[in-house]
Amino acid sequence: MPSVFNRIIDFIERLGPAGFVVQAIVATAAGIGLLLAFILGRRAWRHRLFQKRDRRAQEIRLHWDEIVSSEWPLQEWNVEEMDRGIVETLLLDQLETAQGEEARRLLQCLRLSGLLDRRILEARTRHGWQKRAALVLLGRTRAPEVISALASALDDASEETRVAAIRGLGRMGIPDAAVPILDHLIEGRLKLPSTVIQNALLNCSRRQPSILVPYLRRADAETRALVARALGEVATSDLGEDLLLLANDAQAEVRASAARSLGETELNLALSALGALAEDEEWFVRLRAVVALGNLRDERAIPMLVDALCDANRFVRLRAAAGLAKLSEHLETILDMVGEKKDRYAMQALVSELQRDGVVLEQVSELLGPAKQSAERILLRLVRSGALRLLVSTLLLHTNWRARVAVARLLARSGAEELAPLLENAIVKERSPRQRKITGWVLQRLAEGGASSKRELVPAR
């Protein structure tokens, strides 16, 4: 007797050419069924797995101190793959934040339990994603003995594995881990995107930036730029003389990195070197130098930043303005110096940055404080240099009513005729009679061209 399956096949064959479509329908329906079964089955399986894992993790946590101190027998947790995974995850998570004795204790547990050796073996013998996972985990241990396993993976044929290896080394964050990276780099054996290498170098050399300097001297042009970029991020003041040499390098990229790092060195040394770099022929070197000068927050940098404010490159001008905005305690001097330059774009960039950086609003608040006179002088200069809208807005919308009145008096004395259309427009839109009155008063004083008097403007309560 033919089976049901045979009968279906007979039926399809009898259909002739249409049988092909029926076969396709059957196959597709089977596909749909399998997909549905897989999705739902997998969900159910994962649900049970996670429940079991959570339960087991709970039990392991109860014995955590005994596990770390190796008092709980290994066979209790080191047999099942799931248990091992839980313990390893917990150990590595704790290692991320642990310091000193605690870190040593956790690392010792990894060693004694064989978890570390197992991962080293996997990193050396496995392939594909298993190898990569092992490499990254090894990096998280920060154990010195894993460096050689990670270093040998830098020569792997797969780029993904090399990335995992270098990430692992980067995660260790110790100078010793930088050595294989730098050696591979100098020998031209490290074929990876530069940012990945740079990131790893940054992490590893942060504690000892001087480790990069000898390699910088030996490297070819491309590698020099890369190592210099890393050095630029981690440099400290004790690298002073080395950085001066880099500031005179023939390669613009290296000079730019030197500029970046000089911001971290001894002030006198940095100022003169950065001053020179701020006049470099390459715009990005000037840009880096100007950013570093701004970060110094020293008044001796002001003349250089003011010069940079007149740079032909827009980015340099904007960064110089940002640097000057950070020196707001010397604002009067800065405004004088920029005014002397008679460069409209320079003043525009500065005024814009002072507004964005909140310096103008700070000065408005100062109108009510002890530094009132200085704030008035600065704000008057700013009004005449183009910060009209912000001050009119402050007059209309400042949260402190006394500040509004102070601004009204200031604007009335400014003599800036360009304010008139803005104020007229504000009066038309303004709903509050009190605000209209004040705005009208400012407008009137401006039209008269006279100075204000406190008696004429009494804030209504």
Binding status of residue 37 toward other proteins by CB under 8 A: no
Span 288-317, contacts to other proteins by CB under 8 A: 314
CA gap 77, 171 in Å, rounded: 27
Is 387 an interacting residue with respect to other proteins (CB under 8 A)?
yes
- Write the CB contacts of 108 (distance below 8 Å, at least 6 apart in sequence): none
In the bound complex, what is the minimum distance in angstroms from residue 50's beta carbon to other proteins? 11
Under the criterion CB under 8 A, does residue 8 sit at the interface with other proteins?
no
31 sits near other proteins (criterion: CB under 8 A):
yes
Report the alpha-carbon distance of residue 170 to residue 140 in Å, rounded: 9
Q: Which x/- pattern over 113-142 shows residues binding other proteins (rule: CB under 8 A)?
A: ----------------x--xx-xx------
Please count the other Cβ atoms lying within 10 Å of the Cβ belonging to residue 20. 11
Between 67 and 382, CB nearer to other proteins: 382
Based on CB atoms, which residue is closest to other proteins, 68 or 257?
257
- CB environment 107-121: b (16+ within 10 A), e (fewer): bebbeebebbeebbe
The CA angle 439-443-444, to the nearest 5 degrees, is 115
Question: One symbol per residue from 47 to 66: x for binding other proteins (CB under 8 A), - otherwise; what is it?
Answer: --------------------
Yes or no: say if 391 and 407 are a contact pair by the CB < 8 Å rule. Answer: yes
Chain positions 427 to 446 lying near other proteins, rule: CB under 8 A, are none
Complex with other proteins: residue 32 or 460, whichever CB lies closer: 32
The answer to whether residue 173 forms part of the interface with other proteins (CB under 8 A) is: no
Please answer whether residues 271 and 298 qualify as being in contact, where contact means their C-beta atoms are separated by less than 8 angstroms. Answer: yes
Residues 226-265 that bind other proteins (CB under 8 A): 233
Q: What CA–CA distances, in Å, run from 364 to 79, 263, 375, 410, 441?
A: 70, 32, 7, 10, 19
Rule CB under 8 A: is residue 36 a binding residue for other proteins?
A: yes
Contacts of 279 (CB under 8 A, 6+ apart): 286, 307
Taking CB under 8 A as the criterion, the residue among 78, 94, 108, 194 binding other proteins is: 194
Told to check if 358 binds other proteins by CB under 8 A, we report yes
Residue 362 touches other proteins, criterion: CB under 8 A: no
Residues 390, 385: Cα–Cα separation, whole Å: 12
Stretch that binds other proteins, among 25-33, 215-223, 290-298, 373-381 (CB under 8 A): 25-33
* Near other proteins by CB under 8 A: residue from 6, 11, 29, 303: 29
Does 351 sit near other proteins (CB under 8 A)?
Answer: yes
Taking the C-alpha atoms of residue 88 and residue 442, their distance in angstroms, rounded to an integer, is 72
Residue 42 in the binding site for other proteins (CB under 8 A): yes
Assess 24 for contact with other proteins (CB under 8 A): yes
Q: In the 8-state DSSP scheme, what is residue 75?
A: G
Nearer to other proteins, 68 or 162 (CB): 162
Query: Of residues 116, 154, 318, 408, which one binds other proteins by CB under 8 A?
Result: 318
164 binds other proteins (CB under 8 A): yes
CA 228 to centroid of chain Cα atoms: 19
144 versus 358: smaller Cβ distance to other proteins: 358
Options 15-23, 213-221, 269-277, 328-336: segment touching other proteins (CB under 8 A)? 15-23
By CB under 8 A, tell whether 89 contacts other proteins. Answer: no
The C-alpha atoms of residue 150 and residue 9 are separated, in whole angstroms, by: 58
- 394 belongs to the binding site for other proteins (CB under 8 A): yes
Angstrom distances, CA of residue 328 to CA of 64, 160, 268, 300, 309: 55, 49, 21, 14, 16
Sign of CA dihedral 223, 244, 213, 260: negative
Cα Rg, the chain, nearest whole Å: 35
Residues 6+ apart with CB under 8 A from 320: 290, 294, 305, 306, 308, 309, 311, 349
Of positions 361, 380, 416, 427, contacts other proteins by CB under 8 A? 361
Cβ nearer to other proteins, comparing 64 with 315: 315
Residues contributing to the site for other proteins (CB under 8 A): 15, 17-18, 21-22, 24-25, 28-29, 31-32, 35-36, 38-40, 42-43, 129, 132-133, 135-136, 160, 164, 167, 193-196, 198-199, 202, 233, 314, 318, 348-349, 351-353, 355-358, 361, 386-390, 392-394, 397-399
